[in-house]
C-alpha cells in the first residue's frame, strides 16, 4: 500500500492523492453524477454500483434460490416460482456505506467515493418474510444469512459475498426479494436474477446475485459481517455493525461546470437550488441551505417522501445577485432528530460520513 | 495541479498517484468492468460513459434538431420526424480516446481511465447523409459541425460540446442519428433524445444530446477540434487530429479477484481465456496470447465480426497446470496490418494508447 505515513494502522493513508488500487476500484464501480439528483427515480445506468468481486455470469434457467438452515421445509425455487408470488413495487433510496470515504483524512484504502454512491430505483419483487414462514422457520433462528454468487478474496479470506440480517429486520414487510428495477428485469450489475432489498439500510445489506438464504441459530460471523462494515476507531476493537443509513442531503450543482475542477459558474440572478435528502431512520423533516460555507443556514422547502425510504426533494430560492465566490451547502434532519454534522465523522473503514455537501460556485456574468 | 515535477508542461503529472481532480472525474464517469467483455452486446449501465460537463435535462416535447449552415433548405425536426425515416439498428463498439491514459507516465490530468472505457451497444437510428441531401447541402461545404446541449468550461473556454466531421466521413452509410440503444430509448447519460454515432471513430466524435448540425465551408476550429483530441508531443504543435480507433484486445480476467488489488486467483487446470478485440480501421485478423508477460505469444481463435465496427470474440485454451504467478496478455492485429504495440504510445493528451492488457494471475489450489 502506498501513501501511508508514520503511526497509521495498515490499510489507511493520509495522502490527499489516490492510490492505483483505489483507482482500479473507481474505474469499475459507478457513481451517480450529481446532476442526476434531478430524477426522482434514477435511470438504470446512473444508479451507483459497488461490486466487490466480479459480476457473476448467471443463467436464469439453471439458477435456483435455496432456503435452508433452521427451517422445517427447505425450499428450492426458480425465478418463475418467485414471480408467481405477490408482487410489490416500491421506490427505495440505496446508498453505499462508504459514500464520502475519500473525503476523510486519513482514509481507508478501498473504493474512494466522494459523494456520488447513491441512487433511487423502483424495485419489484416479493416480500421476503412470507417465504420464511412457508419454509417453517424455527423458533431458535436468530438471523438469516444471504449468500450471493459473487466470489473473491478480501482481507486474505476467500469467500462468496454473504451478509446476515436479524429476524426483527427480516420480518419488515418492506424487505423484498427483487427481480426487477425500473420496470425491467435486473441487469447483471444489479444482481440478476434476484437480489435482496432492505430499505433503509446501507447497500451492503441488499445482497446481489442471491442464491441462498439460511436461517441460523447463532449470529453469522462471516467476513462481511464481523470484519468489514463495522464502525471502529481502533483495528483491534470488534466495533459496532453498520446498519441503517444516516441522514444526508445533496445538491444538484447549479450553473455549469469546469470539465476538470468541477468548479461551477453561474450567472447572477434568481437561482432555484434543488436536491434530495434521505435517512434510513425516518423521514426527513428539515433541510437547511447555506450559501456562505456553513456560517449561516436558511430553511429549504422539503417535499413529502414519495414512499418510506425513498429520498425527498427539497428546494431553496437563492438570489445570487452579487458576483463573487460562494460555497453552497445543505444539511438534513430526520424525524428521529438525527442531523447531518458539519464536521467529518471519522472511523477506520470510512463508513457513513455524512458531513455536508459543499459546492463551490463562482457567480459572474458570462 | 498537484503531482507535477520539474520540466513537465502544465497539465501533466509524473506521479503514480491520482489527483483529487482526476478522482472527481473517475467517480462520475463510468468504466465497463472487464468481466462484462463476456457480453457480445454490453448491457445498458455497463457501457462506458464519458461526460465532459453535466448531463443536460432535455424534454422531448420541446427538443428539435436544427440542420443549417451551407444548406439550401434548413430543417427543424422533431424526434417523431426522425423516427418516421428509415430505421437501422447496428452493433457498434465505442471506445474513449483517453482509454489507457492513467497507465502512461507522465500523464495528462484528465479522466484517468485504465482500460475500461469501452462498450458495444446496438444503436438504432436513421442514416445521417440522406438528411443532408434533403437539406440541399452546398457543394462548398467541407465539414458538418455537430453541437450538443451540454455546456461547460474547458481549458478556460465556455462552450457547448461540439465536434466536426469531414464530409467524406459523414457520407458513410453507417453513420447514424441514433435515438435507441439495446432496444430502448437513449437514457439521459447516452444522449437523450438523439446522438450522433460514427462507427470506427473514438467516442468524442459521436456527439450526445445533439441539437444542431451545421454545414460549414471552412474547417471547424472549436475547442474540441483544435485544442482537445489532438496527438501532440509538444504543447505548441497543432498536432494531428484523433480519429479512428486503433486496434485493441482485452481479456476477461480469469479466476476470482482480490477485492482491493484485483490480482486474480485461479485453480490449476484447463482454463478458456476469452476476450474481445476491435479496430476502427478494419476487422481484426489475429489475436495472440502470452502467458509469460509478453515474452512468447500463441495464436488465439478469433470469431468473425458480428457486423463492421463491432468487436470480435477471441478465445485461447490455456492449461495452467503449474502453480505460480503468471502475467497474461493479448495483442490484436487488424486487416490493415495495424498491431498493438508492446510499449506505451505516449502523447501529451494520453490518447489512443493501445499497448497490451496485462493481467496478473496466481495459479494455486484453493
> CB neighbours (10 Å) of residue B343?
8
Q: What is the ipTM metric for this complex?
A: 0.95
Among the partner residues A158, A187, A256, nearest to B153 by beta-carbon distance: A256
- Condensed to tens digits (0 to 9), the pLDDT of residues B204-215 reads 999 999 999 999
- B43/A189 CB distance under 8 A: yes
Burial-class residue A11 by CB neighbours within 10 Å (0-12, 13-18, 19+).
Answer: middle
d(CA B48, CA B43): 10
Cβ neighbours for B156, distance < 8 A, ≥ 6 positions apart? none
Tell me if B204 sits within 8 A of B227, measured CB to CB: no
Nearest one of B111, B235, B4 to A262, comparing CA atoms: B111
- A44/B187 CB distance under 8 A: yes
Burial-class residue A232 by CB neighbours within 10 Å (0-12, 13-18, 19+).
Answer: middle
- B23/A102 CB distance under 8 A: yes
d(CA A330, CA A340): 9
d(CA A360, CA A305): 28
Per-residue DSSP letters for A64-94?
Answer: -EEEEESBSS-EEE-HHHHHTS--EEEEEEE
Q: State yes or no: pLDDT of B1 exceeds 50.
A: no
Distance from CA of A215 to the nearest CA of B (A): 27
Q: State yes or no: pLDDT of B190 exceeds 60.
A: yes
Chain B CB contacts of A49 under 8 Å are: 45
- A19/B15 CB distance under 8 A: no
- Condensed to tens digits (0 to 9), the pLDDT of residues A193-240 reads 999 999 999 999 999 999 999 999 999 999 999 999 999 999 999 999
- A154/B39 CB distance under 8 A: no
Chain A CB contacts of B52 under 8 Å are: 259
Residue B190, strand partner residues: none
Q: What are phi and psi of B79, to 5 degrees?
A: -65, -35
- B112/A22 CB distance under 8 A: no
- B43/A187 CB distance under 8 A: yes
Cβ neighbours for B51, distance < 8 A, ≥ 6 positions apart? A33, B28, B29, B150, B189, B208
Helix (H, G, I), strand (E, B) or coil at A37: helix
Q: State yes or no: pLDDT of A5 exceeds 70.
A: no
How many residues make up chain B in this entry? Answer: 366
Nearest one of A189, A199, A178, A196 to A243, comparing CA atoms: A199
Task: List the domain boundaries for chain B.
Answer: 12-241, 248-363
- Condensed to tens digits (0 to 9), the pLDDT of residues A293-331 reads 999 999 999 999 999 999 999 999 999 889 999 999 999
User: What is the grid cell recorded at B355?
Assistant: 499497448
Q: What is the pLDDT of residue A1?
A: 35
Q: What is the pLDDT of residue A2?
A: 38
Chain B CB contacts of A27 under 8 Å are: 26, 31, 102, 112-114, 116
Instruction: Tell which of B3, B5, B13, B17 to mutate to test the A interface (max A CBs under 10 Å).
Output: B17
Q: What is the pLDDT of residue A321?
A: 87
Q: State yes or no: pLDDT of A10 exceeds 90.
A: no
Chain A CB contacts of B113 under 8 Å are: 27
Q: State yes or no: pLDDT of B2 exceeds 60.
A: no
Q: What is the pLDDT of residue B5?
A: 46
d(CA A316, CA A92): 24
Measured CA distances, B52 to A3, A171, A257, B42, B205 (Å): 29, 45, 9, 22, 13
d(CA B314, CA B304): 9
The stretch B145-151 carries a mean pLDDT of: 98
Q: What is the pLDDT of residue A366?
A: 77
| Three-class DSSP labels, chain B | CCCCCCCCCCCEECCCCECHHHHHHHHHCECCCHHHHHCCCCCCCCCCECCCCCCCCCCCCCCCEEEEECECCCEEECHHHHHCCCCEEEEEEEECCCCCHHHCCCEECCCCCCCCCEEEEEEEEEECHHHHHHCCECCCCCEEEEEEEEEEEECCEEEEEEEEEEHHHHCCCCCEEEEEECCEECCHHHCCCCEEECCCECHHHCCCCEEEEEEECCCCCCHHHHCCCEECCCCCCCCEECCECCCEEEECCCCEEECCCCCEEECCEEEEEEEEEECCCCCEEEEEEECECCCCCEECEECCCCCCCCCEEEEEEEEECCCEEEEEEEEEEECCCCECCCCCCCCCCCCCCCCCEEEEEEECCC
Q: Which chain B residue shows the shortest CA-CA distance from A38?
A: B57
- Condensed to tens digits (0 to 9), the pLDDT of residues B334-348 reads 999 999 999 998 999
d(CA A101, CA A108): 7
Q: Which chain B residue shows the shortest CA-CA distance from A190?
A: B45
User: What is the grid cell recorded at A97?
Assistant: 456505506
Distance from CA of B175 to the nearest CA of A (A): 25
For A248-363, which CATH class? Answer: mainly beta
- Condensed to tens digits (0 to 9), the pLDDT of residues A343-364 reads 998 999 999 999 999 999 999 9
Taking CA A234 as the corner, what is the angle to CA A230 and CA A239, rounded to the nearest 5 degrees? 30
Chain A CB contacts of B187 under 8 Å are: 43-46
Q: Which CATH superfamily is domain A12-241 in?
A: Oxidoreductase, molybdopterin-binding domain (3.90.420.10)
d(CA B58, CA A38): 12
Q: State yes or no: pLDDT of B3 exceeds 50.
A: no
Among the partner residues A38, A43, A265, nearest to B153 by beta-carbon distance: A265
- Condensed to tens digits (0 to 9), the pLDDT of residues A138-197 reads 999 999 999 999 999 999 999 999 999 999 999 999 999 999 999 999 999 999 999 999
- A260/B109 CB distance under 8 A: yes
Q: Distance of alpha carbon A341 from its chain centroid, rounded?
A: 18
Summary mean pLDDT of chain A: 96
The stretch B144-157 carries a mean pLDDT of: 97
Q: What is the pLDDT of residue A6?
A: 57
Residue B69: how many CA atoms within 13 Å on its side-chain side? 23
Chain B CB contacts of A114 under 8 Å are: 23-24, 27
- Condensed to tens digits (0 to 9), the pLDDT of residues B71-114 reads 999 999 999 999 999 999 999 999 999 999 999 999 999 999 99
The stretch B163-175 carries a mean pLDDT of: 97
- B259/A189 CB distance under 8 A: no
Q: What is the pLDDT of residue B321?
A: 87
The stretch B185-189 carries a mean pLDDT of: 98
Summary mean pLDDT of chain B: 96
> CB neighbours (10 Å) of residue B260?
21
- Condensed to tens digits (0 to 9), the pLDDT of residues A240-292 reads 999 999 999 999 999 999 999 999 999 999 999 999 999 999 999 999 999 99
Q: State yes or no: pLDDT of A339 exceeds 70.
A: yes
Residue B299, strand partner residues: B288
- Condensed to tens digits (0 to 9), the pLDDT of residues A44-75 reads 999 999 999 999 999 999 999 999 999 999 99
Nearest one of B244, B250, B251, B333 to B284, comparing CA atoms: B333
Chain A CB contacts of B258 under 8 Å are: 152-154
Q: What is the pLDDT of residue A275?
A: 98
Q: State yes or no: pLDDT of A8 exceeds 90.
A: no
d(CA A274, CA A205): 29
d(CA B351, CA B348): 8
- Condensed to tens digits (0 to 9), the pLDDT of residues A79-94 reads 999 999 999 999 999 9
d(CA A275, CA A308): 18
- Condensed to tens digits (0 to 9), the pLDDT of residues A112-133 reads 999 999 999 999 999 999 999 9
Chain A CB contacts of B18 under 8 Å are: 17-20, 22-23
The stretch B5-16 carries a mean pLDDT of: 81
- Condensed to tens digits (0 to 9), the pLDDT of residues B232-268 reads 999 999 999 999 999 999 999 999 999 999 999 999 9
Task: Determine what percent of chain B is predicted with pLDDT higher than 70.
Answer: 98
Q: Which chain A residue shows the shortest CA-CA distance from B261?
A: A21
User: What is the grid cell recorded at B168?
Assistant: 467524406
Amino acid at each position: 500500500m502506498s501513501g501511508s505515513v508514520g503511526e497509521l494502522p495498515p490499510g489507511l493513508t493520509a495522502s490527499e492523492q489516490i492510490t492505483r488500487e483505489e483507482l482500479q476500484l473507481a474505474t469499475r464501480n459507478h457513481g451517480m453524477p450529481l446532476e442526476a439528483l434531478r430524477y426522482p427515480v434514477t435511470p438504470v445506468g446512473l444508479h451507483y454500483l459497488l461490486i466487490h468481486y466480479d459480476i457473476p455470469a448467471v443463467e436464469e434457467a439453471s439458477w435456483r434460490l435455496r432456503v435452508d438452515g433452521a427451517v422445517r421445509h427447505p425450499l428450492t425455487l426458480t425465478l418463475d416460482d418467485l414471480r408467481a408470488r405477490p408482487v410489490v413495487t416500491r421506490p427505495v433510496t440505496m446508498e453505499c456505506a462508504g459514500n464520502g470515504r475519500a473525503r476523510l483524512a486519513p482514509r481507508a484504502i478501498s473504493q474512494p467515493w466522494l459523494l456520488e454512491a447513491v441512487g433511487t430505483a423502483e424495485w419489484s419483487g416479493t416480500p421476503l418474510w412470507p417465504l420464511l414462514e412457508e419454509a417453517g422457520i424455527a423458533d431458535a433462528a436468530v438471523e438469516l444469512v444471504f449468500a450471493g454468487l459473487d466470489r473473491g478474496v478480501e482481507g486474505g479470506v476467500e469467500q462468496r459475498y454473504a451478509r446476515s440480517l436479524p429476524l426483527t429486520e427480516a420480518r419488515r414487510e418492506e424487505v423484498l426479494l427483487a427481480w426487477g428495477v425500473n420496470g425491467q428485469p435486473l441487469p447483471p450489475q444489479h444482481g440478476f436474477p434476484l437480489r435482496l432489498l432492505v430499505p433503509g439500510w446501507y447497500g451492503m445489506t441488499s445482497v446481489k446475485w442471491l442464491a441462498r438464504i439460511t436461517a441460523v441459530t447463532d449470529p453469522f460471523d462471516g467476513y462481511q459481517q464481523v470484519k468489514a462494515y463495522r464502525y471502529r476507531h481502533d483495528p483491534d476493537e470488534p466495533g459496532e455493525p453498520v446498519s441503517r443509513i444516516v441522514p444526508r442531503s445533496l445538491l444538484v450543482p447549479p450553473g455549469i461546470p469546469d470539465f476538470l475542477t468541477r468548479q461551477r459558474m453561474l450567472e447572477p440572478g434568481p437561482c432555484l437550488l434543488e436536491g434530495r435528502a434521505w435517512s434510513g431512520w425516518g423521514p426527513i423533516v428539515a433541510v437547511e441551505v447555506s450559501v456562505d460555507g456553513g456560517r449561516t443556514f436558511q430553511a429549504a422547502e422539503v417535499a413529502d417522501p414519495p414512499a418510506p425510504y425513498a429520498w425527498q426533494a427539497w428546494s431553496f430560492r437563492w438570489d445570487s445577485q452579487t458576483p463573487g465566490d460562494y460555497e453552497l451547502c445543505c444539511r438534513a434532519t430526520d424525524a428521529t432528530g438525527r442531523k447531518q454534522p458539519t464536521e467529518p465523522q471519522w472511523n477506520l473503514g470510512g463508513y457513513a460520513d455524512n458531513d455536508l455537501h459543499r459546492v463551490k460556485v463562482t457567480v459572474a456574468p458570462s
